[in-house]
Amino acid sequence: MQRIIQRFFQSAQSTGAPGAEAADAAAAPNHHAHALQIWAAQIDTSRQQMEDAVVALSSRFAAIVDQLDSALRMGLSGDGEGVSNDAQRAEVDLLEVVNSLKAIQHSRQTLSQNVRSIVAYIGELRQMADEVGVIAFKTNLLALNAAIEAAHAGESGRGFAVVAHEVRALSDASRQTGRLITEKVGSISATLERIAATNESIAAEDDQAIATAETRIREVLTRFRSRTEAMANAVNQANRQSGEIKEEVAHSLVQLQFQDRVSQILSHVATSMRALGAADAAAGAANTDELARRSLETMAASYTTDEQRRIHDGLDAKAVEPQQVTFF
Amino acid sequence: MAKKILLVDDSASVRTVAGIALRGAGYEVVEAANGQEGLGRLNGDKINLIISDVNMPVMDGITFLKEVKRHPNYRFTPVIMLTTEAGEDKKQEGRAAGAKAWIVKPFQPQTMLDAVSKLILA
């Protein structure tokens, strides 16, 4: 910029003799001052356009980050490990259901065994009822013999005949009771047999149903595990990509800050050019070298960045890197 | 409730860039375009931290910082200066005026957030 200004003034000065410009200044338009004002205005306009564009660009970045966060929250909350854990919990829960069904199956088998045991006791009861019948039959025979002997004894056996008659009556009652017991036991036995048969039939159907359910559950779990593994991978990948995008945005945020830096440098240049143009117009293009020197001095006092100072001193501007924080 | 940060900078792009990082980290951000506007934002609301540029029109950052330190309600509010100004003299001027940290632009957003979380008032 310094070289451009010097070249401009050299070109302007070569068009007339020194000293003549001051005399002609009032009459002739001051092209130096006018040009400086136009340059400054062009720089200001460019600076403003650049700032507007960078603000719009930054807002777009903000919107992208917000949308990214929102999408991740809505669709892929949590992380891949969380999805895998959910799948494992589902597998444990469903296998518990299978185990519960197996426990019910075991209870039914125990019930069948108990019914079968009762049926076995029924056989013993029937045998005992039969024995009651045999005892009654023998008692009856005994009473009959006693009645015959009582008849042989005549009058003296009359009382004994009465007893023998009563014993026979008791024997008949016993035989009747034994027969009723046998009938009832038979009835109970038949019912228990039906219960046991029905229970065993249901148990067989249950075995089949539980085996089918377990197979289906394991198939579902296998498919579920496959899907959740794919989902977990997708979630992990989305989270990883989200992190990468945010890192890219963070880098971009650093680059976008150069607009402020460039804007400040251009602002200093435009201000200096405008001041030089004003001074030049007032002086009538006389002593432009001195005006330019003073203008550069004034501009140097406004520098804020290292590269401004380095360029002013004729050095190369170093690459600007993000700085660390100085804590006080 | 989100902690509130007053962000004072005449550059709309810097306010936007810093705002993205701060809001993304969960802070509430109040913006002002110069020191005078910044003082206008100190209207009794709780401000947990101030981030201010140095070179601004109307009222520069160092003057603003001195005014904040004179304010009865905000004198203990930590202030971070965020500026292109890298000169040691200016940095020491900020320190003397009561700044807690000095960050030179361009800055890594995470660097600024680390400084904020270290200094912000509960």
Q: Tell me the average pLDDT across B16-25.
A: 89
Closest residue, chain A, to B80 (C-alpha): A327
ipTM score above 0.85: yes
Which of B87, B109, B111 has its CB closest to that of A324?
Answer: B111
Task: Say whether residue B114 is in contact with chain A using an 8 A CB cutoff.
Answer: yes
Into how many domains does chain B fold?
A: 1
Residues from chain A that touch B13, judged by Cβ atoms under 8 A, are 51, 54-55, 58, 256-257, 259-260
CA distance B15 to B33: 8
- pLDDT of A8 > 50? The answer is no
Which of B13, B100, B101 has its CB closest to that of A54?
Answer: B13
* Most A-contacting residue of B11, B84, B119 (CB-CB within 10 A), to test interface: B84
Biggest CA-to-CA distance, chain B: 39
Size of interface A-B (CB pairs under 8 A): 102
Summarised one tens digit per residue, pLDDT across range B47-88 is 999 999 999 999 999 999 999 999 999 999 999 999 988 888
Which of A253, A304, A323 has its CB closest to that of B17?
Answer: A253
Give the CATH number for residue B100: 3.40.50.2300
A128 strand-pairing partners: none
Which of A65, A255, A261 has its CB closest to that of B20?
Answer: A65
Summarised one tens digit per residue, pLDDT across range A37-52 is 899 999 999 988 988 8
CB B12 within 8 A of CB B47: no
Q: β-pairing, B4-8 with B28-32?
A: parallel
Tell me which residues of chain A have a C-beta less than 8 Å from any C-beta of chain B.
51, 54-55, 58-59, 61-62, 65, 249-250, 253-261, 263-264, 304-306, 320, 322-328
As assigned by CATH, the class of the A87-245 domain is: mainly alpha
Q: β-pairing, B101-104 with B79-83?
A: parallel
Q: Tell me the average pLDDT across A47-74.
A: 80
Domain that holds residue B71: 4-119
Percent pLDDT > 90 in chain A is 12
Helix (H) or strand (E) holding A324: none
What band does A80 get if pLDDT is binned at 50, 70 and 90?
Answer: low
CA distance B27 to B48: 10
Q: Tell me the average pLDDT across A266-274.
A: 91
Per-residue tokens: A82: 């969380």
- Residue ranges of domains in chain A: 2-11+29-76+248-312, 87-245
Closest residue, chain B, to A255 (C-alpha): B106
Least confident of A159-173, A203-217, A240-254, B98-112: A240-254
Residues from chain B that touch A51, judged by Cβ atoms under 8 A, are 11-13
CB within 8 Å of chain A, chain B residues 46-65:
54-55
* Beta-carbon separation of A320 and B106 below 8 A: yes
Q: B64: Cβ–Cβ under 8 A, 6 or more apart, which residues?
A: B8, B34, B35, B36, B38, B39, B52, B56
Which of B24, B91, B111 has its CB closest to that of A322?
Answer: B111
Q: A276: Cβ–Cβ under 8 A, 6 or more apart, which residues?
A: A5, A36, A291, A292, A295
- pLDDT of A172 > 70? The answer is yes
Q: Tell me the average pLDDT across A274-299.
A: 83
Summarised one tens digit per residue, pLDDT across range B21-51 is 899 899 999 999 999 999 999 988 899 999 9
Greater confidence (A327 vs A257) lies with: A327
* Beta-carbon separation of A327 and B101 below 8 A: yes
Average pLDDT of chain A, as a whole number: 81
What band does B93 get if pLDDT is binned at 50, 70 and 90?
Answer: very high
- pLDDT of A26 > 80? The answer is no
